[in-house]
Chain A
Amino acid sequence: MTRSAKLALIVGACLLAVLLMDHPVLAEAAGAAGQTSSQYPWWLWPVLLFVVTFVMGVAAVLGGGGGGVLFVPIISGFFPFHLDFVRGAGLLVALAGALAAGPGLLKMNLASLRLAMPVALIASTFSIIGAMIGLALPTKYVQIALGVTILGICVLMLTAKKSELPDVPRADRLSSILGIYGVYQEATTGQIIDWKIHRTWQGLVLFVAIGIMAGMFGLGAGWANVPVLNLLMGAPLKISVATSKFLLSITDTSAAWIYMNNGCVIPLIVVPSLVGIMLGSFVGVRLLKVAKPTLVRWIVIGMLVFAGLKALQKGIFG
């Protein structure tokens, strides 16, 4: 795909988002939330939420992102819910996806518990702090920070490279002490791959920031976990992706409890979202064979750009 075609796709996705915003129900709802959302029958919202999160689940699989990162910016931009409830639901959505994937990845030995545990200790502690900061700050500041973060994620998605098997000449001292290494068999080639990591403390320091952002915005943090595990610490891509997914089940658990204990869970928002995104992911996996993931990936990035700008606009102009 040429650069101009990619640009056209992003613009197209933004236009689609604008059109969606112009839909009377969503536009009114996103504008004067309280009064208008109660003008419509209560069941309209869970049904709309289910449909949108289902599409989001499909797009997340095909676009290579997690549902968690799409949920908060898109739902807070297009639905009449306060950001507090969207973040609470976002964490539970990301958590449910991670819980569903975790057991299989652990059993296949693609997710490494030994790699995840030291990282999780840091990320989950700081996601608690992030959640507390996010709930203490005025909403407009959180919206602005969310907008900036989402736009940053788009840049990361556009520029970050991936390395199937990063070159790690020697395990560093800390990873040797922690015994972080492993062996797995590449299913496509049958090759046996011995892996180890390096730059461990630098990676652990970055998980402080990742934890804070995950908790503060209610985002799944796969977009940040994978580059740190793969590009910085040198874990193979498959191990990084699988361990990142499993890691979310721990990081999001700690932040989810903070949101839950503060009353940020409304079942009418949480359950349709959770079911929609899980069913969508299920269908997305099946569509992978026939769909063009690159196209979907560009649409996802376009939607995120729009959602990031929308969050900025909400934060700055109210």
Chain B
Amino acid sequence: MDELEKSLQARPEQILYANLLEKGMLFGLILVLATYIVYLTGLLKPYIPLEEVPGCWHMSVDKYLDHCRIHAGWAWLGMVGYGDFLNFIGIALLAGITIMCFAAIIPVLWKQNDKLYALFALLEAVILGVAASGILGAGGH
């Protein structure tokens, strides 16, 4: 492969990132669709009956959580036995795949002696991880 052809190709960490992102995205989307079908068909009983959801979605999130007695954060993990909360698995995977991608390219960048970008990737994974952890609360309305 000559120099020009090589320079036109994406760098190894970029290819690794793209491959992981592709697999995670496809798996996440399939999961989102599959769990939604389970939810709509009633294969798993929803926590909030479908006909009652339109009575809740006009409320602010605080009122909605209070009215439906739902805990925010990762509490949904304990409720995946319900059809509606089952959907959160696919959604969380879609929202989490980027963290995995950044974590995966850290060793590749480090090996290339690209320590600055390895640090960037680590920082990005930490920032997204903190956002995902739920430790950053938000004020209510």
Contacts and interface: CB of A to CB of B under 8 A. Distances in A.
Interface of A: 33-34, 37-38, 40-43, 45, 80-82, 84-85, 92, 95-96, 99-100, 102-104, 106-109, 112-114, 117-118, 120-121, 124-125, 128, 131-132, 135-139, 178-179, 183-185, 192, 249-250, 253-258, 260-271, 274-275
A108 B110 CA distance: 24
B21 interface: yes
Contacts of A260: 88, 91-92, 95
A253 B139 contact: no
A267 B128 CA distance: 22
A271 B36 contact: yes
Nearest to B20: A103
Contact of B18 (A102, A131, A183): A102
A112 B13 CA distance: 11
Main secondary structure, interface of A, reads: helix
23 contacts: A34-B55, A81-B58, A84-B60, A95-B94, A107-B15, A114-B11, A117-B117, A117-B121, A121-B124, A125-B127, A132-B138, A135-B138, A138-B141, A139-B60, A179-B117, A184-B8, A257-B131, A262-B138, A263-B64, A263-B70, A263-B72, A265-B91, A274-B32
A69 to B, nearest CB: 19
B103 interface: no
Contacts of A85: 57, 61, 64
Main secondary structure, interface of B, reads: helix
B124 A261 contact: no
The 5 closest A-B pairs by CB, nearest first: A136-B139, A33-B58, A103-B22, A106-B18, A267-B87
Nearest to A275: B33
Interface in B73-102: 73-74, 84, 87-88, 91-92, 94-99
